[in-house]
Amino acid sequence: MSNELKKLSPGSLWNIFSDICSIPHPSGHEAALRDFLKKQAEDAGLKVAVDPTGNMLIEKLAFHGMEKHKTVILQSHLDMVPQKNSDVKFDFVKDPVKPKIDGDLIKAEHTTLGADNGIGAAAMMALLLDKDIPHGPLKALFTVEEETGLVGAEKLSPGFVDGDILINLDSEEEHRVFIGCAGGVRSNHEFIAEYDAVPPRNTAMNIKVSGLKGGHSGCDINSGRANSLKLLTEMLTAAEERFGLKLADLHGGSLDNAIPREAFATVLMPVSNTDKFADFAAGFEVEKVQLFGRSEPNLHIQLICVRVPDRVFKEDFQKRLLSALNDCPNGVVALSKAFPGVVETSSNLAAIKSEHGKIIVRTSQRSFCADSKKRLADKICDIFTAAGAACTRDCDYPGWEPCPDSSILKTFTEVHKELSGKEPEAVIIHAGLECGIIHSINPRLDMISFGPEIRNAHSPDESVSISSVGRFWNLLLRLLKTV
């Protein structure tokens, strides 16, 4: 189906996006894609530099007669979020994404598509390789490992991002221009698992929570979607004493920036309680489907009888673990007073896994206010520390403070109105954009972020609107001609 993409307009952009889909590029594995784009640029006679982190900068001279225009840096990231359902066989490091056309949308077969941020990267390369598009001095910055904590941007050197204007192409809502973003931090909580022998006359079963929409833990955090880990731990806590439930395993989620869609547990209980527990689980599912309504119509809880495991968590450890998970803040914590209706502070209970005798819990916190972000992270750390976990943090990155008087914002607004007949909405986003870090490295850069219509990023339901990509492309060309 990739060849079908190459029949779309603008052809240069869709040709490159098709190539991007064919080259595996999850976070941490961008080298093959970078090398492919690097060769294309070098073959076109463009200047290319790659820094020690793997970020790539491609420079192109101004179109004839536009040499005195401001230097514009276009910026996108090379990596994509690798998300699939657990029953899908797919290796993001080895297998190409398979895009398919569905009306005005492009989706992937059972995985994330990578329109976030493959469309932005494709647009940049199409501009670089075209000799007929008018623009001033142009630089194209391709960063790595954005999806795992803005790693590439964080390690940029000041000289690598020198210019006058930065246009980030990593936004997902048409007719909006982003002028600010939240900062974030990831928190890690490690328990040393404590085990007991399996009691006699018990039966075992696996519990699977699935069918949830998931989504971006920043952009979708106020969408009313369920968190699979929160649902499962609530269910386990309610059943713990009532059915003599003992926990042998608990895991789910995978990425810090994705709302977890699936969660799994292995539990034991007296044989006499299994039918009662099945009825309880069915009732719990009905209750939650009614609670979340249209936000989660496919929520499903499945029970499967399995072989009795060799060990279970000690009773005290199980209680401490479940208590911390239930007490951990999740979702919207505070709304902005300066920007009505905008989420200021949030947290995502992102992932739980067992590894080398440890239970590792990952959470992420976001806020436009650095103090609020720190207080929330501190509170969550206190909850898990009190339960016996060791807590650390990483990927602590700054937000991007809005500048309503921005010159590039004014120009963008005028161009957008000229092309579409209406003014774009200037907004701030409750997600981490690399603009925050890049602005802290080079505060004199004038910045905006915009993009086409991308829905359900960071989930297998990700899609991009074909028609919006055409409008996005025309808007970008006119903007570069104008600045």
**3-class secondary-structure state, position 130:** coil
What is the C-alpha separation between 411 and 479, in angstroms, rounded? 7
| Cβ count near 145 (within 10 Å) | 24
Short-list 433, 398, 425, 427, CA closest to 169: 433
What is the C-alpha separation between 110 and 99, in angstroms, rounded? 10
What is the C-alpha separation between 274 and 269, in angstroms, rounded? 7
Q: What is residue 62's DSSP assignment?
A: P
Return the structure tokens found at 372: 């609020």
Cα distances (Å, whole numbers) of residue 94 to 16, 53, 147: 19, 22, 19
What is the C-alpha separation between 77 and 462, in angstroms, rounded? 17
Indicate the pairing of strand 176-181 with strand 202-210. Answer: unpaired
The torsion region of residue 78 among left (phi > 0), alpha (psi -120 to 50) and beta comes to alpha
What is the C-alpha separation between 447 and 262, in angstroms, rounded? 37
The torsion region of residue 122 among left (phi > 0), alpha (psi -120 to 50) and beta comes to alpha
The answer to whether 78 and 144 are in contact (CB under 8 A) is yes
Given the residues 19, 145, 146, 174, the one annotated as active site: 146
Side-chain-side CA neighbours of residue 349 (13 Å) = 28
Return the structure tokens found at 377: 């992270």
Given the residues 79, 147, 170, 434, the one annotated as active site: 79
Q: What is residue 448's DSSP assignment?
A: E
What is the C-alpha separation between 186 and 365, in angstroms, rounded? 6
Indicate the pairing of strand 390-397 with strand 183-192. Answer: antiparallel
**3-class secondary-structure state, position 69:** coil
The answer to whether 409 and 166 are in contact (CB under 8 A) is no
What is the C-alpha separation between 247 and 241, in angstroms, rounded? 12
State yes or no: is 79 an active-site residue.
Answer: yes
> Cis before residue 257, ω within 30 degrees of 0?
no
Indicate the pairing of strand 72-77 with strand 138-143. Answer: parallel
Which alpha helices (H) appear in 100-183, and where do they start and end? 115-129, 151-154
**Catalytic positions, written as ranges:** 79, 146
